[in-house]
Amino acid sequence: MHKHDHIEKKHLRKDPLPKFTIGDTVDVLVKIVEGDKERIQTFNGTVIAMRGRGAGETFTVRRIVQDEGVERIFPLNSPKIAGLKVKRSGKVRRAKLTYLRKRTGKATRLVERMNTTPNTSG
């Protein structure tokens, strides 16, 4: 453990997101401020990459909007992320699913991974 890890811990999110991994289809609940109102928008897609650790950890979610691929990189500890729901887990064999970028339609589907061990953290 690095000397400054405990400092970084203070800046991690207080409400940990449920456990998710690469290949999962997730709903990311994003806080959006419009004028003085705040509402929550859902960004649904596949987690294709996770990067970094500690306070600077990010994950990339890819979805197709009107036949156009859209990717959003979310800082895991951002207070703008209100929550995350895992909808489906995909069976994948690599850490970065960049190959999905070249695929369209049915080819972008991932085989669902059935949980052999129960997902304890929700």
Partner 1 sequence: MGHFILGRKGRMIQVFNEAGQAVPVTIVEAGPCTVTQVKSAKGPDGYNAIQLALDPVKEKSISKPELGHFKKNGVAAHRVIREWRLEAEPSQKAGEVINCTVFKAGDLVDAIGWLKGRGTAGVMKRHGFGGRPASHGHMCHRRPGSIGMHSDPGRVFKGKKMAGHYGTTRQTTKNLEVVVVDEENNLLLVKGAIPGPTGGLVCVQTAKTGVKKVKKAQGLDLKKKNPQKASAAKGKK
Q: What is the contact surface with partner 1 in residues (CB under 8 A)?
A: 2-4, 6-8, 10-11, 31, 54-56, 75, 77-80
In the complex, what is the shortest distance from the CB of residue 51 to partner 1, in angstroms, rounded to a whole number?
A: 12
CB of 2 or CB of 106, closer to partner 1: 2
In the complex, what is the shortest distance from the CB of residue 29 to partner 1, in angstroms, rounded to a whole number?
A: 14
Whether 89 and 116 have beta carbons less than 8 Å apart is answered as no
In the complex, what is the shortest distance from the CB of residue 8 to partner 1, in angstroms, rounded to a whole number?
A: 5
In the complex, what is the shortest distance from the CB of residue 62 to partner 1, in angstroms, rounded to a whole number?
A: 21
Closest CA to 21 of 68, 61, 54: 61
Whether 53 and 86 have beta carbons less than 8 Å apart is answered as no
CB of 3 or CB of 93, closer to partner 1: 3
Torsion 31-34-36-39 (CA) sign: negative
CB of 49 or CB of 110, closer to partner 1: 49
Which residues, in sequence order, are CB contacts of 10 under 8 Å at separation 6+?
A: none
